[in-house]
Chains A and B, each alone.
Chain A
Amino acid sequence: MRRRGTGSWIILALASFYFLIPLLATFLFSLRARRGTLSFLAWAHVFKDPLFSRTFLFSVEMALITIVVGLALLIPTALWVHLRAPRARALIEVLALLPFVIPPIVLVFGLIRTYSRPPIALVSSPILLIAGYVVISFPYMYRAIDTGLRSINLRSLTEAAQSLGASWRVTLFRVILPNIRASLLSAAFLTFAIVVGELTLAVMLAWPAFGPYMAQVGRDLAYEPAALAIISFLLTWGSLALIQLLSRGMRGAATPGGVH
């Protein structure tokens, strides 16, 4: 069809304008720490700050634990729904979608109220933070795993494995999981990106995570926040680029959606 797409190029140009200028401006801003010249002074400050590495590592740790707990919880659940309790699918999907209805600010409020008094006083335990992170990542993780299982025709694969004499453990680890590798990895990286940048839960529960650290820097310093913003952007980009790379050609990757 004769189509000349000039309108599309204009739209693309305008969009690029809006999206790239803030990034460029932020980067340039971060270079202006030393008066009169461009330098990486602000960046050096950031990297030399012991709090930077400490909070970053803390968040990374939390992210990894969240991923493990989340997958350990959701993979069996998704498998069970697919194979043994298809009627429960609607309920599980509602539950997995619930975190959208309960935004982090509301969730953390409820968590504090429920768990700040005896008999269960979890407020000062990292368990609460991790639980909160797991809840936030539910929708993305479940959707990724579910899509992955659906695309591999789970029932036939499992039945084939069983008819060949495989035990459940072998079937799970040698047949099912390797085939949904792309979904698992994309769920993991997405969760990683979300947890590392997360602010609401961490600040309300008073944990030394990367999000609150960035907020604090924003209050105290002028040019370092810009450097942090670029670092955070590159981190998210890296995680998502890895997802794209790993799930190229394979179906079942998670669709990112953003949590704030």
Chain B
Amino acid sequence: MGFVELKNVVKTFGRHAAVSDFSLSVEEGEFVSFLGGSGCGKTTTLRMIAGFETPTSGRIRINGADVVEMPPNRRGVGMVFQNYALFPNMTVRQNIGFGLKVDKRHPDEIERRVGEMLALIHMEEFRNRYPHQMSGGQQQRVALARALAVQPRLLLLDEPLSALDAKIRVRLRAEIRAIQRKLGITTIYVTHDQEEALSISDRIVVMRDGRIEQAGAPFEIYNKPATAFVASFVGSLNVMLATVVDAAGGRLLVDGQEIRTAGPVPHGSGEAVRLSVRPEAIALHNGLPANNHLSGTLSNVMFLGAIVRLAVRTGDNELLLDTFNNPHLTLPPLGSEVTVGFPREACILLGQGEETT
């Protein structure tokens, strides 16, 4: 039994089902991300755990106790909001100490704890500043400290970094993860940024239309996506139209060229399927005999900094392939004939009717 248990949780607003049949078990000390686009139900689920929404049906347990009937101010759950929600009339010190003050702790204890928190987020000099005197990133760190000051058993973060600049986001997410590891606190993190989820989570729960598409470790989600949606939402994906030639032998035809998958194909002969491959799995002139090869024309080269992205046109499909930046990299001119290769294991089959993003 996990530390946080959700069983068949459903939330409907009028006729619209924001969350349907959501079941999840989170272990103590685990960092789980809810990942999905807007309207997928991730924030609603988080708010139900926090107590700001009541599930229409289903059970939620925190540390064994059923919390659905419990008001939010008694759950011992810390929450960090997207727009920080710092109390504008209080200094950093007063904000962080608020939960302790409400709990009627001794002023000395409050001071000590506030000091600890400020040290944790490396903001000791900001003790007497007001929220409007700080940047977004600073405010968010204070919000985190405020939530942690009361030593909650569970920490919830609702897209805490979406309002911040890209560079700060990257830095802050690492900080959040480091603090979480240090304190060993069970954490649920809501985000729409898949790179963020991939980089800091123990487990990712990909959501769509109120349901769980897949739950698993980042490595698993990325390399073994369970559905077409997960495959295309997390990371970029090349999708090619292919026809099945030999189902048992895993042979497909793409633009008249033969491709072999790593194992048998669960479709009938002659069926049209969608074959997808990650850009980083494809390489130019990859001559290994066990690999698949496709011929095409080099149509575009995009320099993205650390990554160089090439576009190769093969008949009806245009493939993107990523390679690391290398000052000595020489590329053939645009328009020339090239061959690309990728291993069989890199083939991901998407079903016929499933939608991609």
**Interface residues in chain A, defined as those with a beta carbon under 8 Å from any beta carbon in chain B:** 1-2
Contact = CB atoms under 8 A, between A and B. Distances in A.
Nearest to B47: A1
Contacts of B52: 1
B55 to A, nearest CB: 13
B54 interface: yes
Nearest to B53: A1
A2 B71 CA distance: 9
B48 to A, nearest CB: 12
3 contacts: A1-B52, A2-B54, A2-B71
Interface string B65-82: 000000100000000000
Nearest to B54: A2
B13 to A, nearest CB: 14
A46 B54 CA distance: 60
A1 B52 CA distance: 6
A2 B54 CA distance: 8
Contacts of A1: 52
Nearest to B71: A2
B11 to A, nearest CB: 14
Interface in B126-174: none
Nearest to A2: B54
Interface in B13-72: 52, 54, 71
Contacts of B54: 2
Contacts of A2: 54, 71
| Top 3 A-B pairs, shortest CB-CB distance | A1-B52, A2-B54, A2-B71
A1 B71 CA distance: 9
A210 B86 CA distance: 54
A239 B75 CA distance: 52
A110 B342 CA distance: 91
B268 to A, nearest CB: 53
A1 B54 CA distance: 8
A173 B147 CA distance: 55
Contacts of B71: 2
B293 to A, nearest CB: 54
B297 to A, nearest CB: 42
A2 B52 CA distance: 9
A1 B47 CA distance: 10
A3 to B, nearest CB: 12
A71 B11 CA distance: 53
Nearest to B51: A1
A1 B53 CA distance: 6
A46 B238 CA distance: 82
B71 to A, nearest CB: 8
Nearest to B52: A1
A101 B52 CA distance: 47
A45 to B, nearest CB: 54
A123 to B, nearest CB: 53
Nearest to A1: B52
A82 to B, nearest CB: 27
A2 B73 CA distance: 13
B311 to A, nearest CB: 36
A76 to B, nearest CB: 36
Interface in B172-204: none
B207 to A, nearest CB: 23
A141 B333 CA distance: 66
A2 B72 CA distance: 11
B73 to A, nearest CB: 11
A53 to B, nearest CB: 53
A109 B172 CA distance: 65
Interface string B89-130: 000000000000000000000000000000000000000000
B46 to A, nearest CB: 15
B67 to A, nearest CB: 14
A2 to B, nearest CB: 7
A218 B174 CA distance: 76
A1 B50 CA distance: 11
